[in-house]
Amino acid sequence: MKQLPSYMLVKTWLFIIYYNNDEMNSQKIKLRKAIYNWFGSIELAQFYIDQMKND
């Protein structure tokens, strides 16, 4: 069973994805792939962050 990435790492990934900077497009694509690999969608990754913040 895979262990999920840390709360702070996922939060950083989401920050970079939502950050409005065209120079980071290639990094955003890689991070989206990582999120889809781990969570299946950006929404589920955000839900994970919300749940970890509440615990």
Q: Where are the alpha helices (DSSP H) in the chain?
A: 7-18, 25-38, 42-54
CB neighbours (10 Å) of residue 31? 20
Q: What is the mean pLDDT of the chain?
A: 92
pLDDT confidence bin for 55, thresholds 50/70/90 = confident
28-49 pLDDT, tens digit per residue, is 999 999 999 999 999 999 999 9
Q: What is the DSSP letter of 39?
A: T
pLDDT confidence bin for 54, thresholds 50/70/90 = confident
Q: pTM for this structure?
A: 0.85
Which pLDDT value is given to residue 12?
A: 96
pLDDT confidence bin for 5, thresholds 50/70/90 = very high
